[in-house]
Amino acid sequence: MKVKRYEGKNIQDVISKIKVDLGPGATILYMKDITQKRLFRKKIKKIEVVAGREETKPSLDTAKIELLQWELKELKESVKTITSKITNGHIDRPAVSPQPGGGGQPFSMVPGENADRKNTFAPVIRNMKKRLRDLDIEEEIVDLVIEEFQNKYSEKEFMNPLLFDDFISNYIQHQIAIAGPIVTGGRKVVAFVGPTGVGKTTTIAKLAAHFSLVERKRVSLLTVDTYRIAAVDQLKTYAEIIGIPVEVVFSPNEFLAALSRNQDKDLVLIDTPGGNPFDTIRMSELKKFLEQDTHIENHLLISLTTKAKELIEIFNCYSVMHIDKVIFTKLDECKTFGNILNVAAKVNQPISYVTTGQNVPDDIEVGETNRLMNLILRGRESLFQGRKLEGIRR
């Protein structure tokens, strides 16, 4: 096997080099992020890939023979199962109608088998599906990815694993919308909403510390989370440490007055109560607060440890108050990150930040396409390879 090492700014850059050098039949053997230190200059972040290509690869005819042998085995198993059911009286014998052109033999005893043989049960397709399922990507999205891949490439092409890696990387990048960080200019008011326990108060503390201590912005905190005394005390403690004001408000009118008192601030961060997102009364009460100012930017925090179906339901519940951006939390508690794609593909809302732990102010990152793509494809091994810049990872 011919093996070579490549470096590039991102996976697409490296794959392009591999294709030119080794051709489309190359295979990725090893991949990792690297940091190059330069004297008196900024560090350079790159990706290192080791790829190889067999000097003599099997012919397409050999691959087709192996595919046919596998399909024949599947067909024999299907016939054996049906024969067993007929023998045991579980199903009636199928009526055999002569086919056009004579012969009197049915085209298939299993409905849809002939349409599926070509692609669905092909070993290479099954392997692709398994790879995506192992990333905890939902079956609906897995099917869409495979369908688009098959429509775009010939059977000869889709048997190349490197080509599929390139395709799935591009697919993820196109599905994920990125909002970027909070941008101040004039007064900016941002509310953080989400179910109990997703980390709203801690996330606010991280952002408050960054904007106040690093970017030197005038920051203030408001909380309408009067359901939990501990949450108010926690926010007050953070505010005291950072050296910024905090106010507790109990009604929509008080909330509006508090916003008015903070007209001189660059950034106002609002903590909200959690609770059950399916409680329509709670949702209605929160909506009344946030409706007081139409310029409030609402960020929905959702824990990546939650099941994909429930994440979509949570988003739909909070949509009554208009969600502008999404923050994924608790990435440090996950082994796989397919839920990022599961949510992004369905709710079509931009991602502003992700959180990776409880440490204030460090464990938060600005959402970035390549970073999220690597998390989805490579899992936990790439989680703590984030880039830390002046108190916030980016």
In this structure, the answer to whether residues 215 and 321 fall within a common structural domain is yes
In one-letter notation, the amino acid at residue 2 is K
Is 202 among the domain residues? Answer: yes
Range of the domain at 9: 2-53
In this structure, the answer to whether residues 227 and 376 fall within a common structural domain is yes
Is 135 among the domain residues? Answer: yes
In this structure, the answer to whether residues 329 and 374 fall within a common structural domain is yes
Last residue of a domain, one of 10, 34, 53: 53
In this structure, the answer to whether residues 278 and 139 fall within a common structural domain is no
pTM value surpassing 0.75: no
In this structure, the answer to whether residues 247 and 360 fall within a common structural domain is yes
In this structure, the answer to whether residues 316 and 230 fall within a common structural domain is yes
Is the Cβ–Cβ distance between 324 and 297 less than 8 Å?
A: yes
Q: CA angle 197-236-179, nearest 5°? A: 55
Q: CA angle 350-207-241, nearest 5°? A: 165
In this structure, the answer to whether residues 265 and 327 fall within a common structural domain is yes
Last residue of a domain, one of 15, 35, 53: 53
In this structure, the answer to whether residues 309 and 251 fall within a common structural domain is yes
In this structure, the answer to whether residues 256 and 383 fall within a common structural domain is yes
In this structure, the answer to whether residues 49 and 145 fall within a common structural domain is no
Residue 75, CA atoms < 13 Å, CB-side half-sphere: 17
**What is the tens place of the pLDDT at every residue in 333-390?**
999 999 999 999 998 899 999 999 888 888 999 999 999 999 999 888 888 764 443 4
Is 320 among the domain residues? Answer: yes
Domain count, the chain: 3
Count of Cβ atoms closer than 10 Å to residue 255 Cβ: 21
* Averaged pLDDT score across all residues of the chain: 80
In one-letter notation, the amino acid at residue 207 is L
**What is the tens place of the pLDDT at every residue in 65-123?**
655 666 566 566 667 766 666 666 555 444 444 444 444 333 343 444 444 444 444 67
Is 103 among the domain residues? Answer: no
Last residue of a domain, one of 38, 53, 68: 53
